[in-house]
Structure 1
Amino acid sequence: MLRLSNFGPHARMLGMVILWGASWPAGRIVAQAMPPLAAASLRFVLALLVLLPWMYHSGGFTQLKNWSTKRWMGMALGGFVGVFGYASLFLSGLQYLPAGKAALLITLNPVVTLLLAVWLFKERLNAIIGLGMAMAFCGAIIVISQGNPLHILQGQLGLGEWLILGCVACWVGYTLLGRWVMNGVDALSATAVTASFGALFLIVASLLVEGPAGVQAALHSGWSAWGALLFLAFGATALAYAWFFDGVKRLGAGAAAGYITLVPVVGVAVSALLLHEALDTSLLIGGTLAVLGTAIMQRGRR
């Protein structure tokens, strides 16, 4: 039974689910109107207008002078992989792939992360976790291949699928890296610092690859694209992370992880509602398997 004192944190976690789920159709709108690197740069520069003052207010800046060179290098690497890599591939992939399908492919994140954690950190598996991993993997394969896994063996995956799978690889790398170099650093400071490094990398890459014309094109995009970009920066990045951190602190990591399993469901629903994306049989069956598998995994890990 939900206690009244916990209603606020649960409500904020549901808000986080909606914001992160809606980031997929918002990203699709941005990707169709702006150069991806310039758009990603603007997203994180804007998000830092919230994250850095928030970090300062919480006292996070005082610990920076005590960080070792190894930690700073780890944060820079985290910014390169988890912010620059993920954000650029996220918007690049959404140029080619429907938002709902892309959101479901991200259910591979916990599967790949846990497999590598077993190898690198000797995490233990059980039958429930194994069942969930198998279901999530099969569901993702159905979504990727549109119901025909032979397409994967025959090399028929499109560029959009490969780019979103690159997102998976980047987020898995960022998660595992966090266990190595971010131990003892609060989540807000880790997010703000890696976002700062990532924004710097994105700006440099945008200028080198897209040139000043890329930023100009982004700045002169329509109101719908800018509305989606502002939502990504302030809603899906700054506010959603604030609510997520609060949920982890008040409800525990297990409960917070359980809410994350709902993000792809919201992503598919909002994409269908706002962008009128079709829900074919393979997407529904594969998506159901992937989300249920992820939920079973979280249950097994508890």
Structure 2
Amino acid sequence: MFEAASTAVTRPLLGVHAKLLGMAVLWGASWPAGKVLAQSMPPLTAAAWRFAFAVLILLVWMLATRGWPRLSPRQWASLALAGAVGVFGYAVFFMLGLQLVPASRAALVVTTNPVFTTLLAVWLFREHFNGRIGLGMLMAVLGAATVLTRGAPWHLFAGALGLGEWLLLGCVATWTGYTLISRGLLKGIDTVTSTALGAVFGTALLIVTALLLDGRAALAAPLVWTPTVWISMAFLVVGATVLAYAWYFDGVAQLGAGTAASYISLVPVFGVSSSILLLGEPVDSSLLIGGALAVAGVVVMNRARR
């Protein structure tokens, strides 16, 4: 009887862990998929269509599970800020950076997201900090710097980074800002609602900017997409944007934020492997050594934080 009860408890939890692993695969594979879009159309047009499709699904998800929220003017303003930074800002840097940098390197550079988020959270919110967290941060930054500079991190001090690398650092900055906005300003709003409504504001900015810079061709872009582009877009919308978020939120609800967040350390691993397998991107020692160091640093940070 005890074994039967234990099995009944364990199986659902195994399903949740499987979903979190799937989330890491989907988010990792979003880098080569984004690379396909970045090379097939203007980056702002690609970002606008991706989130336009995703917003429709997110809104249906929100209305079906939460209904339309009653929010204060301050909460609406916070959602607008979150969308401007975390959707519009991040999407612009993401697509522009992928035009210039291999997807495998880009996926590893963003492992520094939790580093800068932790530093600012310690300063702004007095969150817990210890020596092991500091060690993990140092490892992650050194690993990302090794990947970014192709094995010569001292070049960071010589101003040797190209435009693509700076754009990827913009991804780090905007995601850090989005996380801190969510931590400080979006209290009282559930994650599904904040994701859906924040995406609405960010998508509106993307559409306006794409129309201003890319013109009417942005509206007609889907008419000339190849099957490969359609598949990449569908994957980014349904897989990496909607399904991965659903699995992540389910993991947070059933296992806790710390356990769910620890799976994010696997995202760059799947990002690099999928970029190599799907796009045939080259592998060198700086990618392997820097990537291993960056991922190990994130793991150390997660364990120390718990």
- Indicate whether the TM-score tops 0.5: yes
TM-score interval for Structure 1 and Structure 2 normalised by the shorter chain: over 0.9
State the SS of the aligned residue for 1:192: helix
Over aligned residues, Cα RMSD in angstroms?
A: 1.3
Selected match of 1:161 from 165, 170, 175:
165
Selected match of 2:37 from 5, 9, 30:
30
Assess, with a 3 A threshold, how the Cα gap between structure 1 residues 238 and 48 changes in structure 2: closer, same or farther: same
Residues 1:116 and 2:120 are matched in the alignment: yes
Alpha-carbon distance, 1:158 to partner = 1.2
Residues 1:262 and 2:266 are matched in the alignment: yes
CA–CA distance in 2 between the matches of 1:231 and 1:156?
A: 35
**Cα pair 2:210 2:218 within 8 Å, conserved:** yes
The AA in structure 2 aligned to 1:50 is: I
What 5-or-longer segments of structure 2 have no aligned partner?
Answer: 1-5
The AA in structure 2 aligned to 1:116 is: L
What 5-or-longer segments of structure 1 have no aligned partner?
Answer: none
State the SS of the aligned residue for 2:199: helix
**Cα pair 2:66 2:193 within 8 Å, conserved:** no
The AA in structure 1 aligned to 2:22 is: G
State the SS of the aligned residue for 2:100: coil
Alpha-carbon distance, 1:153 to partner = 1.8
Query: Residue deviations 1:173-229, cap 9 Å, x none?
Result: 000011121111110000000011111010000011111123334541221112101
The AA in structure 2 aligned to 1:20 is: W
Residue of structure 2 equivalent to 1:248? 252
The AA in structure 2 aligned to 1:107 is: T
Selected match of 2:48 from 41, 44, 62:
41
Residues 1:178 and 2:182 are matched in the alignment: yes
Residues 1:291 and 2:298 are matched in the alignment: no
Moved more, 117-126 or 17-26: 117-126
**Cα pair 2:111 2:144 within 8 Å, conserved:** yes
| 1:179-218 map, 5 Å | 179-217=183-221
Selected match of 1:8 from 6, 15, 23:
15
| 1:1-150 map, 5 Å | 3-61=10-68, 63-64=69-70, 67-150=71-154
**Cα pair 1:83 1:194 within 8 Å, conserved:** yes
Query: Residue deviations 1:219-269, cap 9 Å, x none?
Result: 412211121011111110011101110111011111111111000000000
**Cα pair 1:84 1:198 within 8 Å, conserved:** yes
CA–CA distance in 2 between the matches of 1:93 and 1:225?
A: 18
CA–CA distance in 1 between the matches of 2:215 and 2:51?
A: 18
**Cα pair 2:140 2:293 within 8 Å, conserved:** yes
CA–CA distance in 2 between the matches of 1:269 and 1:14?
A: 15
Q: Give the TM-score, by structure 1 length.
A: 0.96
**Cα pair 1:34 1:218 within 8 Å, conserved:** no
